[in-house]
Amino acid sequence: MNLQSLAASLPLLLCSFVAANAQSADDLVAKNLAARGGADKLAAIHTIVTSGELRFPGDFKLVYKETRERLDPVNSAVRVDATIQGLTVVQAYDGKDGWRINPFEGRKDAERMGADETRELADQGSIDGPLLAAHVKGSQVDYLGREDIDGTEAYKLRVTQTDGTVFTYYLDPDALLEIRVIERRSIRGAEKETETDLGDYEQVSGVYFPFSLASGPKDSASSDKQVITISSAAANAQVPASLFAMPVQPAAAQK
């Protein structure tokens, strides 16, 4: 092949490469969805309540409970309660606003979360997760090849959301389930990268969810990560809308 013929063929080769990359990403997302339990079973989950333990480095343990409710094809409400010695830290997102209560900071009343923290909690609380919700949210999904994750040649997918937040997913090549997620986002102008290892998948109403989640700064040691261990989970329980709503501060306290 002479140089002129090669130059003429480059656009076709580039188009073929782009098409193959897109096909690979779509194929892996579809396989991940099937591995989770399939679109119908996932869509049938309207609420999910999990309970267990949150352990911080140093063996600091809290009773953990998380409640999620699907509000529409895009958004889920979420509330997280973590309790120790009668004190409960609360973080919640009602589909629009985020709020928190942190008695360890000397605050007993609820306070609104900033826009960046609210988006972070909303992503964490999604029943489908950023990968499987990418299509309806308009996120870009790219296949980045394979990478060794603790001895496993995992498939690597990048999800780029419209606000610039990036999730990098690593899928087990056999189970096609997530084994690691790296999240990169901007919090108050500073870049934050969080690495989460997922495992111990269990079925809840026919859909697989991770029952072990170890997270911390990217590349942090396992001993430096906080670990959520789920002991029980239930789907489609009745959840009052008020659970996610920010408590109204008493009028006397506002004066």
The dihedral formed by the CA atoms of 217, 222, 227 and 233, expressed in degrees to the nearest 10: 110
137-161: per-residue pLDDT in tens? 999 999 999 999 999 999 999 999 9
Identify the pLDDT of residue 186: 95
Q: What sections of the chain are H helices per DSSP?
A: 3-36, 39-43, 115-124, 129-132, 134-137, 251-254
Confidence of residue 80 (pLDDT cuts 50, 70, 90): very high
Rounded Cα distance between 83 and 80, Å, is 10
Determine the average pLDDT of the residues in 92-103. 96
pLDDT at 17 over 60: no
pLDDT at 106 over 50: yes
Contact predicate 103/90, CB 8 Å: no
Q: How far is CA 190 from the centre of its chain?
A: 20
